[in-house]
Amino acid sequence: MTRQDQRHVGLWLYICCALVYAMLALGGITRLTGSGLSMVEWQPLIGVLPPMDQTAWQELFAKYQATPEFHHVNNDMDLEGFKGIFWLEYFHRLLGRMTGVVFFVPFAWFLWRGKLDRAVKIRLGLIFLLGSMQGVMGWLMVKSGLISDPHVSPYRLTAHLGLAFLVYGWMLWTALELHVGADGRASGHPPGWFRPTSLAIVTLISITVLSGGFVAGAKAGYGYNTFPLMHGQWFPDAYWELQPAWHNFFENVAAIQWDHRLLATITFFSVVAYWLLGGRAAPPSRVRLGLHLLLLAVILQVALGIATLLLHVPIHLAWAHQVWSMALFTVALFIHFHLQTGSSRVAWN
């Protein structure tokens, strides 16, 4: 690939990353408003057009009225109320289709024009496959709430969230490699702990995000709305109430929330320590900027999480907490990328 081709592909991938980020944002508000189960069929090819007349709306509403969510949660909903939840899920799925098109069409064009190296072809092909799996997992998640329980499976919701972060992260890393290249990476020899610690930070954030998926799936944020104690306890008595014991980590509200608090606390203090020690190591300007942004991002994320909990999960704060998690992940990945070995004009002091 020529340097120009690399930059063009990188810019295209940045656009795709922005669309995935928008998908996360729209998916979050769809979940929080209870709109995700309004579309009871998955029609990836023919489901692009919305209902065009009153008859079509009535048919869709009749299908929704047969779902557990209507019977147990929204049995007083009329057609106008159904339209209100339908449009959020519709635009979420439409954005997913648009993201797939924006990825696939340029990818096919770059392939046809011979502008991709073999390694890049394979990587982008795998990313497209993961993106397709993300769409399938989204439907499997919705389907789990259409059978008997009007709530989606926390396991499938977390898998759906995790796949979104995986696709986004891999795509962003590839975009940085191609667009920024070795010229933007830090050269020289940072302290031996600096690079592995940056990877540990990315890993901690990712695990905390996944634990947040179980918090959302189990609606664990609606319980124990005190901080830092959980109803007067540092460790809730109900933590081990389920048998077998491993179920507590994924299905017990007390355990799920405590685990998320613990992971968030470890992540917060790890970032603070990394910022303090990293600043003393006199890093290059891009890494220093990344450290400052990382500190600000983790402070805001923790503040949003605590406020969401104490105020009993208001939609706007819970949504901001989910959306900001990807911003925090982005900054951590940015730092880790710029710490990789490369010949650079951005030298380590």
Long-range CB contacts for residues 141-147, cutoff 8 Å, separation at least 24: 141/36, 142/36, 142/37, 142/39, 142/42, 143/42, 145/36, 145/37, 145/68, 145/69, 146/37, 146/40, 146/67, 146/68, 146/69, 147/68
pLDDT of amino acid 188: 58
298-326: per-residue pLDDT in tens? 999 999 999 999 999 999 999 999 999 99
Q: Residue 103's closest CA among 121, 122, 128, 120?
A: 128
121 — pLDDT class (breaks 50, 70, 90)? very high
188-221: per-residue pLDDT in tens? 566 778 889 999 999 999 999 999 999 999 999 9
- Across residues 226-233, what is the average pLDDT? 93
Whether 295 shows a pLDDT value over 70: the answer reads: yes
pLDDT of amino acid 306: 97
Whether 89 shows a pLDDT value over 80: the answer reads: yes
Distances (CA, A) of 219 to 194, 256, 259: 37, 10, 14
pLDDT of amino acid 348: 56
Pair 197, 220: CB distance under 8 Å: no
The two structure tokens encoding residue 45? 């090819």
Residues in a beta bridge with 233: 230
Whether 183 shows a pLDDT value over 80: the answer reads: no
With a CB cutoff of 8 Å and minimum separation 6, the contacts of 269 are: none
Beta-sheet strands, E only, within 133-211: none
343 — pLDDT class (breaks 50, 70, 90)? very low
Whether 14 shows a pLDDT value over 80: the answer reads: yes
- Across residues 112-121, what is the average pLDDT? 92
> What is the pTM (predicted TM-score) of this model?
0.92
Lowest mean pLDDT among 233-247, 305-319, 328-342: 328-342
